[in-house]
Amino acid sequence: MRQQVEETIEAIRPALQADGGDIVLRDVDEVTGVVSVSLVGACVSCPASSQTLKAGVERIMRDRVDGVTEVVAV
């Protein structure tokens, strides 16, 4: 599962970087399906970052990686 999560983050990363941000994978809990990430760069101060995380990153992650239940920012 971790490899699939890493590949999905690499696919998402260019869109975040285009806006001056980035995403860093912190942990993948394969038992609960929770993926922990940090949004960095412009994403830190962006008021839409929580929406990006849930409606963007989490939706894509759940679509592409079986077993992912949630993506959380740490």
pLDDT tens digits, one per residue of 33-49: 999 999 999 998 889 89
Tally of structural domains, the chain: 1
CA dihedral angle for residue 47, residue 51, residue 32, residue 11, rounded to 10 degrees: -100
Q: Which tokens in the block code for residue 50? A: 């929580």
Using 50, 70 and 90 to split pLDDT, how confident is the model at 56? very high
* Mean pLDDT across 39-65: 93
CATH of the domain at 37: 3.30.300.130
Among 2, 1, 49, residue whose Cα is nearest residue 21: 49
Domain that holds residue 62: 2-73
